[in-house]
Amino acid sequence: MSSMAQGNMIYEGKKRLRAQMREHLKSTTTDQLQQFSAAICSHIACSKDLLSSTNTIAIFAAHSKEIDLSELHESLPDMRFVYPFCHKDKILSFHTVTSPTKLILGSYGILEPKLSEHSEVDTVDVDLFLCPGLAFAINGARLGHGGGYYDRALATKSSRAMVWGVGMNMQIVDHITCEKHDQLMQGVITESGVMAARHD
């Protein structure tokens, strides 16, 4: 099989899985999302492994059926939180935000930092990346929405930085085919706890 044909197969497989997961997530209620979000924030705030040498955490503003991490501002008041800003060239930049109430609605319908008010932080200065996704595999593979924003950003992170996916148990799948540019997660944090990736 040619590399182009193989690439097309991977692309179509990811496209199908995205559609399946979006349909699957429709069944999640607001109450469930709130319950799962509270549990996940608690798991993060209580994890010594994640926080023992962490000063700066990259989080995200919940969009649609995503986990809401805003509670971390209250439970971890001494941390510096940075949020992503989506640029038109499919690049992410990260900016210090002291409160989620200061985020504004961006061009993609996602709450984002206001560039004129929130200073940019280089990706190499981020200690812990908490990444959204549509699906996560047990080996650390992540399926995003298809823009490649996080893959590009994580390719420039520090070698010491930790990278974890954030989602619900229902978003964990057995396998996601990876391409060269896909960045692996060290594990995923769900309502059940902090689960390290398995590479067996």
The one-letter amino acid at 192: S
Q: How confident is the model at residue 169 (pLDDT cuts 50, 70, 90)?
A: very high
Assigned CATH for 3-196: 3.40.50.10420
Question: Cβ(56)–Cβ(125) under 8 Å?
Answer: yes
Sort residue 199 into left (φ over 0), alpha (ψ -120 to 50) or beta.
alpha
Q: What are phi and psi of 65, to 5 degrees?
A: -95, 40
pLDDT at 110 over 70: yes
pLDDT at 38 over 70: yes
Rounded distance between C-alpha atoms, residue 129 and residue 82, angstroms: 9
Please give the full DSSP string across 109-146, using - where no structure is assigned.
S-EE--TTTS-EE-GGG-SEEEE--SEEETTS-EE-SS
Positive/negative CA dihedral, 88, 91, 95, 100: positive
Structure tokens at 105: 């609605």
Nearest to 86 by CA among 65, 72, 104, 64: 104
The one-letter amino acid at 69: L
pLDDT at 6 over 70: no
To which residue do tokens 């004129």 refer?
116
How is the chain split into domains, by residue range? 3-196
pLDDT at 200 over 70: no
Average pLDDT, integer, range 160-187:
92
**Tally of residues, the chain:** 200
Average pLDDT, integer, range 178-187:
88
Average pLDDT, integer, range 164-178:
93
